[in-house]
A and B are shown apart, each in its own frame.
Chain A
Amino acid sequence: MSVFRTTIPEHADDEPLIQLVAPDGTRTPHEELDAAVAHLTGEDLRRYYRDMVMIRAADLEATSLQRQGQLGLWASALGQEAAQIGAGHAARTQDYLVPTYREHGIAWARGIEPWRLLDVWRGIAHGSYDPYELRTHPYMLVLGAQVPQAVGYAMGLQRDGLVGTGDLESDTAVLTLFGDGSSSEGEVSEGFTFAASFQAPTVFFTQNNQWAISVPATVQSRVPLAQRSRGWGIPSVRIDGNDVLAVYGAVRLALDAAREGEGPSYIEAVTYRMAAHTTSDDPTRYRARAEEEEWAAKDPIDRLRRYLEAQDEVDEEFVRRCEEEGHDLAMALHHEIHAMADPDPIEIFSHVYADPHPLVEAERAEFERYRSQFEDAGDQAASESAEEGRR
């Protein structure tokens, strides 16, 4: 085997993990990333803390709404708050974000209220927020399919002269997020290829939450995920995904480099999915309680609180207020979901095509004809019983 030069690492630990805040809240210096987070104020960090508390509250409420039959399914992001809030806030307003289906923190950072996401999970639409208005691609249920689309968007930015002009406030980049499992999909590889070939301003961001439903990340990749993109000539880094500061710093650096015309990069954020894969999943079948407890000790919200406490940036009163606001948000969500009406089924036929399509029109008409029989029957029954009532 001597002519084969690649050494396959035995452990993921063979790839350094960058961390700025340890689980106990102590700050570790890091030359490059420190510079990328240096401008963050105490107020910024308090905001990230509050954001993480808020989405966790919304997330727990969504899980219970699913249990109450209000949602068909819910994919919880519990435990991944730092990865999502850090990445979401590292993006500049003009950047375009391309998520999968668990990125509620990304949505929150973009100003999408949680209830605007719920239409998909409740089953009343395949999506309804405006991708242009929010600079956020629709949620994606076909794993990895959004990745070449993100690269195409980035290629469009290049063509539009929005890359490498030197103006950080208008130069634009794309951040696409996908899981450790999704990283095995062929389309992610094609995304790497196109981004590398055209040096498209794309940041690939994997939340390695250790599990793709029941399959551990080690089955997806023989090497630490962060090493994967290097074969494409895409530089990469492995960071602690439960450390909001490290995530913010790495994503900020990568997006800025992309917008400056330096091409794509890849980030593996090591985190943990604390909840079940979705509300239909039973993680007790495939993972050990001890593992969950080990990760609970690395909780991203507790960690940031400890750090901010040590810096005297928060007090008990602030922490309590955040909890209260989280509770209010959960109540609002509960209220919103109960107010969500089912759409008129005629909507099935809306927006299939941009221009009229005779088959869709004919089927819409047929549906209406079919339905009107029952409406007439219903009206008749109603008027008969009204008649009855009068008698």
Chain B
Amino acid sequence: MSTVKLPIAKAITAGLRDAMRADEKVMLMGEDIGLLGGVFRVTDGLHAEFGGDRVVDTPLGEAGIVGTGIGLCYRGYRPVVEIQFDGFVFPAFNQITTQLAKMHYRTRGQVRVPMVIRIPYGGGIGAVEHHSESPEALFAHTAGLRIVTPSNAQDGYWMTREAIESDDPVIVFEPKKQYWIKGDVDTDVRPATGMHSAKIVRPGSDATLLAWGPSVSVAREAAEAATEDGLDLEVIDARSISPFDVPTVVESVKRTGRLVIVHEAPVFGAIGGEVAARVSEQCFFHLEAPVLRVGGYHTPYPPARMEEAYLPDLDRVLDAVDRSLAY
């Protein structure tokens, strides 16, 4: 067993490198991913190792990147494309939702499009507009896509590997704020759970906190802080947005009776609402309180000096926990 300590970004780099070594059909495409190594340096060193044919600096055009990636899938390639920032995926929205997601369906299974789209997402880095968004619900609404989001280095490595190995198109939302947070990565032993299972990262009995991506650490901190008030909160990292591992959440809620969902995306119309609906369908007699959601507001992502107020933080999560317990 070879466990190393790596920041999430470097764990993803290692995942990309090992996937490229394992399968020569794997290739990377995106803006500035070659010599520069990507604006977040996630592809750092890969151009040097694999060359410009496998780590392709593309022209600036997201529809072109995803569209040509689909054509490459038709030739048996497994392109891993980087969208530089969350807010710039929209020029490619058409290729992703009307094309990539539906190729397998409309060809009745004759064509596979095993593309991976990596999107650094989320706020908290003091960025200018269109650099801090969480558009996962916009893609989860489209059947044919798989969506995952790592919250730690181990998942950064293994989700990258599994996304590349998947014969379906996979979007990996990478929590950019946490790219440099270190964690243990075992690159030898593949976790048995797979990329689509939720994981209880902190067991507890008084209420369940459900989060994913960058919000997992917020939920954990809230749970730690709540111990001071004698509260024992369970924390679940959803890990996968599509499919969503509802059963793990339902199990937990049946034990705790309470659910607070935390994500950065604006709450209205987001994935939290979908999970809340399913939990109330399946846990109606176990719930001690309505499912509560903590997330972004129905505003554009605000200028950086206000993002602290916008993002769900420890206090807003604890406030929701208090409201849940007050029922």
Contacts and interface: CB of A to CB of B under 8 A. Distances in A.
Given A142-B98, A353-B144, A197 B59 contact: yes
Given A126-B105, A126-B106, A352-B104, A148 B63 contact: yes
B94 A187 contact: yes
B105 A150 contact: no
Interface in B122-160: 143-144, 146
Contact of A352 (B66, B94, B144, B196): B144
B72 to A, nearest CB: 5
Interface residues on A, range: 35 or more
Contact of A156 (B67, B75, B242): B75
A128 interface: yes
B243 A149 contact: no
A148 B114 CA distance: 17
Interface stretch (A4-12, A188-196, A281-289, A311-319): A188-196
Contacts, number: 139
A193 B63 CA distance: 11
A83 B180 CA distance: 57
Interface string A77-105: 00000000000000000001000000000
Contacts of A132: 110-111
A152 B71 contact: yes
B166 A351 contact: no
Contacts of A151: 64, 67-68, 71
A152 B68 contact: yes
A167 B109 CA distance: 33
A190 B109 contact: no
Contacts of B104: 351-354
Given A145-B94, A145-B98, A151-B71, A131 B109 contact: no
A151 B112 CA distance: 18
A352 B145 CA distance: 9
B74 A357 contact: no
B146 A353 contact: yes
Chain A CB count within 10 A is highest, among B94, B108, B112, B242, for B108
Contacts of A358: 196, 243
A190 B110 contact: no
Interface in B81-110: 91, 94-95, 98-99, 102-110
A65 interface: no
28 contacts: A96-B74, A125-B108, A130-B110, A145-B95, A145-B99, A148-B63, A148-B71, A149-B99, A152-B71, A153-B74, A153-B75, A156-B77, A159-B72, A159-B77, A187-B63, A190-B59, A193-B64, A194-B59, A350-B109, A351-B104, A351-B108, A352-B104, A352-B143, A352-B144, A353-B104, A354-B168, A359-B243, A360-B143
Interface of A: 96, 125-128, 130-132, 137-138, 142, 145, 147-157, 159-160, 186-187, 190-191, 193-194, 197, 350-355, 357-360
